[in-house]
Amino acid sequence: MAESPAEPAWAGDILKREARALMVLADSLGAPFAHALDVLGACADAGGSVLVSGLGKSGLVGAKISATMASLGIPSHSVHPSEAAHGDLGRFRPSDAAICLSYSGETEEVVNLAAVLRQDGIPVVSMSRGPGPDGRPPTLDTLASVALPLGQFEEAGAPDFVAPTSSTTAMMALGDALALCLARRRNFTQKDFAKRHPGGSLGSTLRPVTDILRFRVGVNVPLIDEGTSVAEALRSASALTPRRPGAMLVVDDRGRLAGIFTDGDLRRLILRGPTELAKPIREVMTRSPRTLPDSSTVKQAVLLVREHRQDELPVVDPQGRPVGIVDVQDLITLRLVSDEGSI
């Protein structure tokens, strides 16, 4: 198809409209932005992760924001708001914080996630268009600890096209500003940055695997006796840690790892019938799962994930007693593997 002489001019107008949206946003930053930095900085300093969630184009922007934060020394990963309602809420810990993205501020899945997190006492930073002409804030902002309005503007392709353009550009730029300001506030250096990129990835993979354990026995990983029923094991795990990993570790009478019981195992068990929950967990667990010695390096964990596509890897001491679980999401957060299991 031949190019229209008007196309370069129209393209230039699109870029100018997106640039104007950024200028309006830049001029509007103030106390809420500083407050958001306080919230996210407190999370990172406490050893928590910044979890970023949005739907559709906002979700793609959220994944980029999360990756930028991770590369700047701020533990972070993205969470799909729909998946959160089907098990990924287990990714959130009391020390974490969330960034929830929805330009309208009314995206049902994102609003529902923010409502759950608010009930759990997890701080939420929202990004939306902000109050409408009537001065009323969108629902997402009313649930947030800190609301960051992007501003009211038409998308750059309007009126011919209403696909997200200016709104997602503003959202991504604001995420970059948060990440960079937070990195500077935390004295993140160029040397630190290099360690998180290909030139320094070898050093990261040579760290002890115990350095990256987010799920630890005695903290947020329950140990289940192999004679316990599945139902009782679930009650015990929920009582100890509502935000638990995606697997339970089963031990014998000497405290050694006997097996693993995952959320996937639970779903399959329930489909077989409710009476299955009364069975001893030893009868339905995976026996002798692949494990990592606590002397392993992160590189060995990465290789095991690549080879076997195993989402949860028990880490054991020399006596075979569990010390924690390496979750594949932790390796993804460190940018050592992708969702497909490769660097």
How is residue 46 written in tokens? 């406490």
Those residues with Cβ within 8 angstroms of residue 106's Cβ, 6 or more apart along the chain or in another chain:
138, 139, 140
Quick one: pLDDT at residue 81?
Answer: 87
Q: What's the pTM?
A: 0.56
Name every residue whose Cβ is closer than 8 Å to that of residue 283 and which is 6 or more positions away in sequence.
none
- b or e along 20-38 (b: 16 or more beta carbons within 10 Å of the residue's beta carbon)? ebbeebeeeeeebbeebbe
Beta strands 146-149; 215-216: pairing state: unpaired
**Are 208 and 185 contained in the same domain?**
no
Q: What is the pLDDT of residue 139?
A: 96
Residues 282-292 pLDDT 10s: 999 989 889 99
Asked whether residue 1 is domain-assigned, the answer is no
Residue 343: inside a domain: no
**Are residues 214 and 161 both part of a single domain?**
no
Average pLDDT over residues 236-253: 79
DSSP string spanning 41-78? HHHHHTT--EEEEESTHHHHHHHHHHHHHHHTT--EEE
Crossing angle for the helix pair 31-45 and 166-185, nearest 10 degrees? Answer: 60
Do both 213 and 155 map to the same domain? no
Confidence class for position 335, pLDDT limits 50, 70, 90? confident
Q: d(Cα 70, Cα 47) in Å, to the nearest integer?
A: 13
179 and 210 fall within a common domain = no
How many folded domains does the chain comprise?
A: 2
Residue 175: what pLDDT? 96
pLDDT digits (tens, 9 = 90+) for 258-309: 999 988 889 889 888 888 899 999 999 989 889 999 988 888 888 888 888 8
* Interval 141-159 mean pLDDT: 92
Residue where a domain terminates, one of 189, 209, 226? 189
Q: Is the pLDDT of residue 67 over 60?
A: yes
Domain containing 228 equals 200-333
Best mean pLDDT range from 82-86, 139-143, 202-206, 227-231 = 139-143
Residues 205 and 99 reside in one and the same domain: no
Place 191 in a pLDDT band, splitting at 50, 70 and 90: low
Token code pair at residue 230: 């599945």
Give the single-character DSSP code of 278.
G
pLDDT, mean of residues 165-194: 86
Judgement on whether residues 246 and 153 belong to the same structural domain of the protein: no
CATH number for the domain spanning 173: value is 3.40.50.10490
Q: Is residue 258 within 8 Å of residue 285, measured between CB atoms?
A: yes
Whether 339 is covered by a domain: the verdict is no
Residue 340 lies in a domain: no
Q: Is a pLDDT exceeding 50 seen at residue 343?
A: no
Q: 159 and 207 share a domain? A: no
pLDDT at 142: 96
Task: Give me the pLDDT at residue 204, please.
Answer: 61
Q: State yes or no: pLDDT of 342 exceeds 50.
A: no
